[in-house]
């Protein structure tokens, strides 16, 4: 068996590297956190493409609203979109303000266009207002990324309260519905909605009953909405992450014993880093995917979606 080299973090996303050793592998010793979790408290720190993502101008002039954009996958997508030339607005919970502030500071220092609107997506009126406010800041909306998610592990359905079940569905499914409904009248032909489902929507873990079922719902919503709005020249697609190293995991998303081995079960032997999934969103937001709608891209470290 060939020995794997040590971690070899890329200087840019175009350098060829061994995917097995590109980023840290388990075991991990990151501290557990209260919800919603902060990037700054994670060990090792996630890579969102801060130093590696190089834009090519593929989103010049586009206007994108990204929920959950302060950290994790949303943060990586915000970095990628902004460096591709888009004006970005991120949404996040007020408790995540420090993560949002660091992102805004970094991207604005590069001269990129990014704004932030904090608030709770479980509120329908806030979702409608978020779309209005984001469109006001950017002069319209061309791309909506429904990324924000709630995930809290529970070993048994007996431990899963109605309050948690309701909050998970409102965050993961209802908000997607409210935001899409509000955004579509503002979208022109060529616009794109990108929803974030999960491998959990195909291969659910027993401890993630409510979360996994929302991710299955997102798959159906994506296909049905794509069929509705294709006649308007608007595309709706989804991305299905596998295990990704984000604050969602240590903030009650995984039990401590599973967190230590997080990503170990994938063929690549490690969790994905947010920087590794952001290009999928760029692809779905641009004309490079112009003949795709109602589809899902799996980014899972080798575990198939089916």
Residues recognised as catalytic: 211
Distances (CA, A) of 82 to 55, 95, 138, 149, 249: 8, 24, 13, 22, 26
Q: What length does the chain have?
A: 306
- Residue 63 and residue 153: Cα distance in Å, rounded? 35
> Which SS3 state, helix, strand or coil, does residue 206 take?
helix
Contact call for residues 149 and 201 (beta carbons, < 8 A): no
Contact call for residues 26 and 261 (beta carbons, < 8 A): yes
* Count of other CB atoms within 10 angstroms of residue 50: 16
- Residue 33 and residue 117: Cα distance in Å, rounded? 24
- Residue 188 and residue 4: Cα distance in Å, rounded? 48
- Residue 253 and residue 299: Cα distance in Å, rounded? 19
Residue keyed to tokens 């493409």: 49
The sign of the torsion formed by the CA atoms of 131, 120, 217, 249 equals positive
> Which SS3 state, helix, strand or coil, does residue 119 take?
coil
Contact call for residues 276 and 242 (beta carbons, < 8 A): no
Q: Where are the beta strands (DSSP E) in 120-173?
A: 143-146
- Residue 218 and residue 220: Cα distance in Å, rounded? 5
Phi, psi of 254 (to 5 degrees): -135, 145
């Amino acid at each position: 068996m060939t020995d794997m080299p040590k971690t070899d973090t890329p200087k840019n996303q175009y350098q060829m590297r061994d995917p097995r050793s590109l980023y840290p592998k388990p075991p991990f010793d990151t501290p557990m956190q209260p919800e919603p979790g902060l990037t700054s408290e994670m060990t090792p720190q996630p890579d969102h493409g801060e130093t590696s993502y190089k834009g090519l101008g593929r989103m010049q002039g586009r206007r994108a609203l990204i929920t959950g954009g302060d950290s994790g996958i949303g943060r990586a997508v915000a970095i990628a979109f902004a460096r591709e030339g888009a004006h970005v607005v991120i949404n996040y919970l007020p408790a995540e303000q420090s993560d949002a502030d660091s992102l805004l500071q970094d991207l604005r220092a590069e001269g990129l266009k990014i704004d932030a609107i904090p608030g709770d997506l479980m509120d329908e009126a806030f979702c409608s207002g978020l779309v209005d406010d984001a469109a006001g800041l950017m002069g319209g909306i061309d791309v909506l990324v429904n990324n924000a998610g709630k995930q809290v592990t529970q070993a048994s359905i007996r431990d899963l309260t109605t309050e948690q079940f309701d909050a998970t569905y409102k965050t993961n499914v209802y908000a997607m519905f409210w935001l899409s409904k509000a955004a579509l009248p503002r979208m022109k032909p060529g616009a794109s909605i990108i929803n974030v489902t999960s491998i959990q929507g195909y291969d659910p873990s027993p401890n993630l009953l409510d979360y996994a079922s929302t991710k299955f719902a997102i798959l159906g919503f994506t296909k049905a909405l794509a069929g509705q709005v294709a006649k308007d020249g608007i595309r709706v697609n989804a991305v299905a992450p596998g295990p990704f190293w984000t604050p969602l995991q240590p903030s009650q998303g995984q039990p401590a014993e599973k967190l230590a081995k997080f990503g170990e079960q994938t063929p690549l032997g490690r969790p994905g880093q947010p920087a590794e999934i952001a290009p999928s969103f760029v692809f779905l937001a641009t004309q490079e995917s112009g003949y795709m709608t109602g589809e899902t891209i799996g980014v899972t470290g080798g575990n198939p979606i089916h």
